[in-house]
């Protein structure tokens, strides 16, 4: 194994049992077999057992940052716990070089009846720090955690956010070579999340290795070099961060037919006013628009009464539910006194600055006021922008670069 490798995972698998009683029975049987020198056959599944992690292999170099993504139950936290030595794999081998600092579960390693300060010493000892090291770094840990006077209170009175503050403060100050961070950062407030990300960036710049598990794709894109997409305990994709995130985001939002249509919900408040059909006026039937080409959407309506001062609204979202824009017809100069019967309205963006990727649309008809919604199709329509990727992010505006070399 090369000296440059921080973590090496070789064909690792971990199984669980769905039944607690049967799990306890299997545990006793395994201990008994091992005590008399027989194999417990960890490579076989018994009744009610399943592979939480199934034949996972990868290498992570020192100084790299790896993101692990996937749906709930994919095996992300189980993998992190094996890397941290909490669980042993049933099959395969894990090699770790360096001290690990881990923040995997809110409140893990804290005794509820002890104070925050007392738990700092206990948690730091678990991470391999001596009392002398903790004494030297205690002020920095307390400053980072921002717990205030609660540091002398039993942690059973702490909120989940306070647990995260204290846990991350200790884990990041134990001078680890490898930092494991699970989704727990999501329960902290926004300011502390930024603080944690800055700390991780400093850690990476100083040569530290980070493994980050999160559902926040923007954090993965900003921090990680490579990404593993786990699904049902297996690696579905492993590679360059933007490519894997694009695949995962598209997969997460599409339905079984592989498109974005019919993934949302209709909010219908008036049976007499209907959005009857939505068309994307493009060259093909797959709602695919070339990068830089006009975006044209035709919204058909059908009413059985006169609708006074109708307002048509179009909202565009990324596949991660980030609102990109919302346009209101009356704000854009389309003032309509009334509509009745059948008709349509065209929404045209001549030069959209959307980057390549998948998008979701909501369509709304309101009457008189924007808030007086009559029919809303919430995130029901999808389209794609295709072409050569020139940038990453939500927009792809045209840029002119200039250079003046004064050597």
pLDDT of residue 185: 65
Q: Is residue 395 part of a domain?
A: no
Joined together, the tokens standing for residue 9 give 């995972």
Q: What is the 3-state secondary structure (H, E, C) of the chain?
A: CCCCEEEEEEEEEEEEECCHHHHHHHHHHHHHHHHCCCCCCCCCCCCCEEEEEEEEEEEEECCCEEEEECCCCCCHHHHHHHHCCCCCCCEEEEEECCCEEEECCCCCCCCCCCEHHHHHHHHHHHCCCCHHHHHHHHHHHHHHHCCHHHHHCEHHHCCHHHHHHHHHHHHHHCCCCEEEECHHHHHCCHHHHHHHHHHHHHHHHCCCEEEEECCCHHHHHHHCCEEEEEECCEEEEEEEHHHHHHHHHHHHHCCCCCCCCCCCEEEECCCCEEEEEEEECCCCCCCEEECCCCEEEEEEEEEEEEEECEEEEEEEEECCCCEEEEEECCCCCCCCCEEEEEEEEEEEECCCCECCEEEEEEEEEEECCCCCEEEEEEEEEEEEEECCCCCCCCECCCCCCCCCCCC
- Among 187, 221, 253, the domain-final residue is 253
What are 296's strand-pairing partners?
A: 348
If asked whether residues 120 and 227 sit together in one domain, one would say yes
Taking residues 302-307, what's their average pLDDT?
A: 96
Say if CB 106 and CB 160 are below 8 A apart: yes
Q: What is the CATH number of the domain that holds 340?
A: 2.70.50.60
Q: What is the pLDDT of residues 239-265, one digit of tens each?
A: 999 889 888 877 776 654 445 555 688
Residue 93 has what pLDDT? 92
Q: Residue 210 belongs to a domain with what CATH number? A: 3.40.50.300
Q: How confident is the model at residue 325, as a pLDDT?
A: 93
Tell me what the mean pLDDT of segment 308-326 comes to.
91
Least trusted range by pLDDT, from 110-114, 183-187, 238-242, 315-319: 183-187
In a shared domain, residues 276 and 241: no
For residues 79 and 174, membership in a common domain is answered with yes
If asked whether residues 11 and 80 sit together in one domain, one would say: yes
Residue 345 lies inside a defined structural domain of this protein: yes
- CA pair distance 79, 52, nearest whole angstrom: 9
Residue 260 maps to a domain: no
Q: How many domains does the chain have?
A: 2
CB 87 within 8 A of CB 98: no
Structural domain includes residue 45: yes
pLDDT in tens, 328-348: 999 999 999 999 999 999 999
Residue 314 near residue 291, CB atoms below 8 Å? no
Mean pLDDT value across residues 382-407: 82
Same domain, 84 and 190: yes
Rounded Cα–Cα distance for residues 274 and 379 (Å): 16
Residue 404 has pLDDT above 80, yes or no: yes
Angle of CA points 249, 224, 253, to nearest 5°: 5
- Is residue 160 situated within a structural domain? yes
Q: Which of 218, 253, 288 marks a domain boundary?
A: 253
Residue 176 structural domain: 5-253
pLDDT over 70, % of the chain: 94
Q: Kindly report, residue by residue over 160-215, the tens digit of the pLDDT.
A: 788 888 888 888 888 788 988 887 666 667 778 788 878 888 888 888 899 999 88
Q: Please tell me whether residues 32 and 69 are part of one structural domain.
A: yes
pTM of the complete model: 0.73
Task: Kindly state the average pLDDT of the residues 12-23.
Answer: 88
| pLDDT at 257 (0 to 100) | 46
Indicate whether 15 and 95 sit together in one domain. yes
Same domain for 353 and 299?
yes
Among 184, 113, 187, 116, which residue's Cα sits nearest to residue 145?
116
Model confidence pLDDT, tens digit, residues 33-68: 888 887 777 778 888 888 999 999 999 999 899 999
**CB contact at 8 A, 14 and 93:** no
- Is residue 235 included in any domain, yes or no? yes
pLDDT given for residue 309 in this prediction: 95
One domain, residues 281 and 241:
no
Note the pLDDT of residue 57: 95
Q: Assess whether 297 and 361 both reside in one domain.
A: yes
330 versus 3: the higher-pLDDT residue is: 330
How confident is the model over 63-110, as pLDDT tens digits?
899 999 998 889 998 999 899 888 889 899 999 988 887 777 666 668
Query: Which pair of tokens denotes residue 344?
Result: 């349509």
Please check whether residue 129 lies inside any domain of the structure.
yes
Q: Which residue has the higher pLDDT, 394 or 262?
A: 394
> CB of 338 within 8 A of CB of 310?
yes
Examine residue 398 and state whether it is found in any structural domain, yes or no.
Answer: no
Q: What is the mean pLDDT of the chain?
A: 86
Q: Are residues 326 and 367 in the same domain?
A: yes
Looking at 253, 279, 314, the residue that finishes a domain is 253
Q: What percent of the chain has pLDDT over 90?
A: 36
pLDDT band (50, 70, 90) for residue 272: very high
Residues 52 and 179 in one domain: yes
């Amino acid at each position: 194994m090369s000296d440059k490798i921080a973590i090496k995972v070789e064909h690792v698998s971990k199984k669980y049992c769905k039944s607690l009683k049967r799990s306890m029975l299997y545990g006793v049987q395994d201990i008994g077999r091992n005590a008399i020198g027989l194999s417990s056959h960890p490579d076989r599944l018994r009744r009610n057992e399943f592979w939480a992690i199934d034949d996972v292999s990868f290498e992570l170099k020192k100084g790299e940052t790896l993101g692990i993504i996937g749906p709930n139950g994919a095996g992300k936290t189980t993998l992190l716990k094996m890397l941290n030595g909490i669980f042993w794999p049933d099959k395969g081998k894990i090699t770790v070089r360096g001290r690990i600092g881990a923040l995997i579960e809110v409140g893990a390693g804290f005794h509820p009846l002890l104070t925050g300060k007392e738990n700092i010493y206990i948690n730091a000892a678990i991470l391999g720090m001596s009392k002398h090291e903790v004494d030297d770094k205690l002020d920095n840990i307390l400053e980072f955690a921002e717990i205030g006077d609660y540091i002398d209170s039993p942690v059973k009175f702490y909120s989940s956010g306070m647990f995260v503050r204290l846990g991350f403060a200790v884990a990041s100050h134990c001078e680890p070579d490898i930092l494991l961070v699970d989704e727990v950062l999501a329960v902290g407030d926004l300011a502390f999340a930024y603080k944690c990300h800055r700390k991780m960036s400093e850690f990476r710049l100083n040569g530290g290795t980070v493994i980050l598990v999160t559902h926040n794709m923007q954090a993965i894109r900003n921090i990680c070099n490579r990404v593993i997409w786990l699904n049902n305990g297996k690696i579905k994709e492993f590679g360059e961060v933007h490519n894997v995130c694009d695949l995962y985001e598209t997969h997460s939002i599409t339905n079984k037919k592989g498109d974005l249509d019919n993934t949302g919900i209709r909010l219908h408040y008036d049976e007499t006013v209907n959005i009857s059909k939505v068309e994307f006026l493009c060259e093909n039937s797959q709602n695919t628009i070339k990068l830089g080409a006009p975006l044209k959407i035709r919204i058909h309506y059908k009413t059985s009464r006169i609708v006074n001062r109708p307002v048509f609204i179009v909202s565009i979202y990324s596949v991660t539910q980030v609102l990109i824009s919302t346009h209101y017809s009356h704000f854009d100069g389309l003032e309509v006194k009334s509509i009745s019967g059948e008709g349509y309205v065209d929404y045209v963006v001549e030069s959209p600055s959307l980057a390549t990727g998948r998008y979701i649309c909501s369509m709304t008809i309101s009457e008189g006021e924007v808030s007086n919604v009559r029919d809303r199709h919430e995130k029901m329509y999808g389209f794609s922008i295709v072409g050569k990727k020139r940038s990453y992010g939500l927009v792809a505006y045209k840029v002119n670069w200039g250079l003046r070399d004064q050597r």
